[in-house]
Structure 1
Amino acid sequence: MTELVIDRLGHRGDGVVLQPDGQQLFVPYTLPGETVDVDLQGGTGRLKGVLTPSADRIEPVCRHFGTCGGCTLQHMAPAPYADFKRRLVVDALADRGLAPEIGETRIVPPHSRRRATFAGIMAGRHPLVGFNERGSHRLVTIDECPVVRPQLLAALPALTALTGLIAPRKGGLDLTVTLTNGGLDVSVAGIAARDADRLRMQLIELATRFDLARLSAGGEAIVERRSVAINIDGVAVTPSPGGFLQVSEEAEAIMGELVTAAIPDKAKRVADLFSGVGTFALRLARKAEILAIEGEGGAVAALDQAARGMTGRHRITTEKRDLARRPLIEKELEKVDAVVFDPPRAGAAEQSQWLARSKVPTIVAVSCNPATLSRDLRILVDGGYRIESVTPVDQFLWSSHVEVVTVLRR
């Protein structure tokens, strides 16, 4: 038996033990102050048992917790869990010498995720669908999940049949399922386009048998039986197969509310950078004319089509542009009254450099990565901006990920 006392939580949600030599040992599924029994495996300890539990420990809500790699913090009570998410943001900003007031964490409810990506593999002749174990390619089949909408779990028979039809002998499939207005939209990655085309008639039959609204493979729709639009602030938007969107409608609404409230009523033209399918652009069009810029062509087309069909809002002009390589420069920024940016995890360093030189009075930075967000905020603050508010949004329940909405003024 190896007894250890957990000192704190790391940024991935693992318990951390500071060893005598100064090294850190990480023990998943533990909490600060707990005395635990572990098997030592390099820099990680495998939890064998909790000898003295924390007062913050609760019973996990899912029986797959600890095996399925999707959740890491179901054993933590709600209040300290919310504070952990907030501390992720506090610590990331502190690493860059930033110490603004951080708001309380806004948390989405269970069963609110409208999109999930399942893994599909063949075990001999038997198709299996589920989620991977943590840090492993081993697959865990599931029959419950407190994170996703129930309709996504109802898709498991269809996904299993799909895996049996098209999964390669080696490797597996990524099966992305989205709940849309018209039903389930399934997009398959991990199959060659020629193989999907060869099986086209069988895939169409499968989509019909399981009543899928759309079935796509390799980024191309095989069959679309009904509309797969989603609603963004009352506007119907049809994402491209597997195209990015906020995975929780509730989190999207929270972030949309925060972003919209930050834009002054007097703003006449707003730039929405890394705009995706219009999470913010469609909402902000109620207040101002929008320039929406995005590098992914499918998202640009989806937003453009949605904007053409909306009524009672200001014009949205879309542009396909790689902002990492060709950011909006100072002269272009002179034409806007406010900027919203929501980049991928890598952040928006190049764009932030140009924003820091601009005279744009209001910037709203949205991010799913506190580390790169803090880097970008440092650039903006050094350029003369003041952080007005920072709000963590817990879109990814019981994980170590967090969204952040930051408002800056000049």
Structure 2
Amino acid sequence: MSAKVTIERLGHLGDGIARGPVFVAGALPGEVVSGELDGGRLTAPRIVTPSPDRVSAPCRHYKTCGGCALQHASDAFVAAWKQEVVRTALAAQGLAPPFRAILTSPPQSRRRAVFSGRRTKHGVLVGFHARASGMVVDVPGCLLVDPAIARARPCLEALTRLGASRKGALALTVTVAPEGPDIAVAGGKPADAALRAELAALAEAHGLSRLSWEGEVIALRQRPTVGFDGIAVTPPPGAFLQATGQGEAALRAAAAEAVGNAARIADLFAGCGSFALPLARRAEVHAVEGAGEMVAALDEGWRRASGLKRVTTEVRDLFRRPLLPDELARFDAVVIDPPRAGAEAQMTELARGEVARIAAVSCNPVSFARDAAILVAGGYALHWVQVVDQFRWSPHVELAALFSRDHIPV
């Protein structure tokens, strides 16, 4: 059925939403759009009245690739919208803190990306998935990834040719390292002796620092490192890292400001140490993380570095076993950077405790707002929110914030 709708707002995935609701991909608020109504979605949309915020997408892959949902919107619009996403989530919890200006990573700054690799009848295909589809789209001109990742494409194609089965796709995680690309592969053939030899030769030929297959290191030419404010760490294969160096630096600066002059800091969900190690230049840090291999990487990075104060580590599932108020009592400040689900159990214990300052980092405005409300109900003040956009042209939002006990000056 043909229909014409007016877009009222954007949804959290970047779709335009008209009354109904009717979802329209690629539409902006205020636009009149026509198309075929299929359930609650307008298919084959045609913009009748464009928004003044509409721009020409800079990437030639925009219409087919599902990686960037918002290239049709101006940078100013996207920045304001992402701020509003966080503001709306907090308002739903009765919170209205001051917001700082958003910080956005530049194009070609993604230092880590996950590609899909498939064998085809005529060769191989390496790229990203199309929007809401299992189809892989070739993206040789991607404007998101660091040029070092773009240069690794021939290697990714060779890996797919060697190790992908006819039925499934490889997941190829590429991380930029000064020593050469660090590639971790999942979903491939079993690594028998012949495949191992071929993979090792490929790693040598393409100058990889490390090649891992299903979590096992197949080739290690040089230990790949990531610099956390100049402190070198070798992360486990495929380990989580902030998407861009600029985004990580922005979040780290916000966290460092939030903890102030604290002498003893707990870093919860510490990962490989992106916050803990730089903070150790001025404070003793206790880093807690559920993944043992990340804790080992953090600890090794500390032992190899110079000029850092004491860093202790603990492998602990903070969802099941959050730090309790008596354990938190020895810290002057906490940095907490949980996964998308947030940290409800740990925030509940923080709210019961007396830690003076909390630097909260989040990649999910909704779970952050829920957790923020727990802290505020426990007597904390939410002083400011800093939105960081390191997933340029996507609906994804990251942020940092400062909470403190009311009697603590900020």
Taking the aligned partners of 2:295 and 2:44, their CA distance within structure 1 comes to 47
Q: Which residue pairs with 1:6 in the alignment?
A: 7
In the TM superposition, residue 244 of structure 1 has moved relative to its aligned partner by: 1.0
Q: Which residue pairs with 1:284 in the alignment?
A: 279
In the TM superposition, residue 197 of structure 1 has moved relative to its aligned partner by: 5.3
- State yes or no: 1:150 paired with 2:147: yes
- State yes or no: 1:275 paired with 2:270: yes
Q: Aligned partner of 1:189: which letter?
A: A
Query: Which stretch of structure 1 is more off in the superposition, 150-159 or 40-49?
Result: 40-49
Q: Which residue pairs with 1:218 in the alignment?
A: 214
SS at match of 2:403: strand
SS at match of 2:176: strand
Runs of 5+ unmatched residues, structure 1: none
- State yes or no: 1:386 paired with 2:381: yes
Q: Aligned partner of 1:379: which letter?
A: I
Which of 351, 355, 377 matches 1:356? Answer: 351
In the TM superposition, residue 227 of structure 1 has moved relative to its aligned partner by: 2.4
Q: Which residue pairs with 1:259 in the alignment?
A: 255
Which of 221, 234, 238 matches 1:242? Answer: 238
- State yes or no: 1:231 paired with 2:232: no
Contact 1:27–1:47, Cα closer than 8 Å, also in 2: no
SS at match of 2:191: helix
- State yes or no: 1:67 paired with 2:64: yes
SS at match of 1:195: coil
Contact 1:258–1:405, Cα closer than 8 Å, also in 2: yes
In the TM superposition, residue 39 of structure 1 has moved relative to its aligned partner by: 2.3
- State yes or no: 1:399 paired with 2:400: no
Taking the aligned partners of 1:324 and 1:183, their CA distance within structure 2 comes to 35
Moved over 6 A (4+): none
Superposed CA deviations along residues 206-262 of structure 1, whole A, max 9, x for unmatched, are 111222111101111100112210111111100010011111011000111111111
SS at match of 1:388: strand
In the TM superposition, residue 2 of structure 1 has moved relative to its aligned partner by: 2.8
Q: Which residue pairs with 1:17 in the alignment?
A: 18
Q: Aligned partner of 1:218: which letter?
A: E
Query: Which stretch of structure 1 is more off in the superposition, 197-206 or 253-262?
Result: 197-206
SS at match of 2:100: coil
Taking the aligned partners of 1:292 and 1:69, their CA distance within structure 2 comes to 36
Alignment of 1:3-402 (within 5 A): 3-18=4-19, 23-124=20-121, 126-191=123-188, 194-195=190-191, 199-265=195-261, 267-402=262-397
Taking the aligned partners of 2:57 and 2:43, their CA distance within structure 1 comes to 18
Contact 2:268–2:289, Cα closer than 8 Å, also in 1: yes
Q: TM-score, normalised by structure 1?
A: 0.96
Taking the aligned partners of 1:76 and 1:226, their CA distance within structure 2 comes to 42
Contact 1:337–1:360, Cα closer than 8 Å, also in 2: yes
Runs of 5+ unmatched residues, structure 2: 406-410
Contact 1:29–1:66, Cα closer than 8 Å, also in 2: no
Q: Which residue pairs with 2:408 in the alignment?
A: none
In the TM superposition, residue 198 of structure 1 has moved relative to its aligned partner by: 5.0
Taking the aligned partners of 2:44 and 2:159, their CA distance within structure 1 comes to 36
SS at match of 2:165: coil
Superposed CA deviations along residues 6-39 of structure 1, whole A, max 9, x for unmatched, are 1111121111100xxxx31110111111112222
SS at match of 1:304: helix
Aligned pair count?
404
Contact 1:36–1:47, Cα closer than 8 Å, also in 2: no
Taking the aligned partners of 1:67 and 1:45, their CA distance within structure 2 comes to 17
